Amino acid sequence: MLYPVYVHVGSAQEAHGVVFPDFPGCFSAADTWDELPAAIQEAAEAHFYVEHEAVPPPTPLEQLVDHPDYHGGVWLLADIDLSRLQTKPVRLNISLPAHLVQQIDAYAGAHHLTRSGFLARAAQQTMQG
């Protein structure tokens, strides 16, 4: 999803600094413009890993361009992969065969995971693989 980020343009001696208006307290930096997308994604992932809050929708850029906190830099619409953010858990009800639940619980316990943690990790690995 495209989110507006504000970039304080760096120099040969300073990195480009990034502010996320929609994610208060989230900042990033990169030495080159090419490195900015990865740095932005990494910062968003780290922010929501710690905060565990719901990801807000992006603020329309036209609401931000004249904001007094953002001057002297440039706006960038960053494509943030929301599927990679650790957000507030959602409770759901699923049905599985009893023997499979027993196997999941045994595996999760042996690896110091909860059932939910194991299932979330298995789902992520399957979709990435």
The CATH code of the domain that includes 52 is 3.30.160.250
Q: Which tokens in the block code for residue 56?
A: 């807000």
Q: Please spell the DSSP secondary structure of 25-52, one letter per residue.
A: T-EEEESSGGGHHHHHHHHHHHHHHHH-
Judged against a pLDDT cut of 90, whether residue 117 lies above it is answered with: no
Chain mean pLDDT for the chain: 90
39 shares a domain with 63: yes
Q: What is the dihedral of CA 90, 95, 96, 98, to 10 degrees?
A: 110
- CA 45 to chain centroid: 3
Does residue 91 lie within any of the structural domains? no
Taking a C-beta distance cutoff of 8 angstroms, is the pair 65, 95 a contact? Answer: no
pLDDT at 40: 96
- Check whether 3 has a pLDDT greater than 90: yes
Residue 122: pLDDT above 80? yes
Query: Which neighbouring-strand residues pair with 27?
Result: 19
Q: Considering its fold, how many domains does the chain have in total?
A: 2
Measured in residues, the chain has a length of 129
pLDDT at site 51: 65
Provide the pLDDT for residue 86. Answer: 74
> Considering the chain, what percentage of its residues have pLDDT values greater than 70?
97
66 and 14 fall within a common domain: yes
Q: How confident is the model at residue 129 (pLDDT cuts 50, 70, 90)?
A: low
pLDDT of residue 22: 95
Q: What is the mean pLDDT of residues 103-128?
A: 85
Model confidence pLDDT, tens digit, residues 72-93: 999 999 999 998 887 767 788 9
| Domain boundaries, position 65 | 2-84
Neighbours of 19 (CB within 10 A): 17
The answer to pTM > 0.75 is no
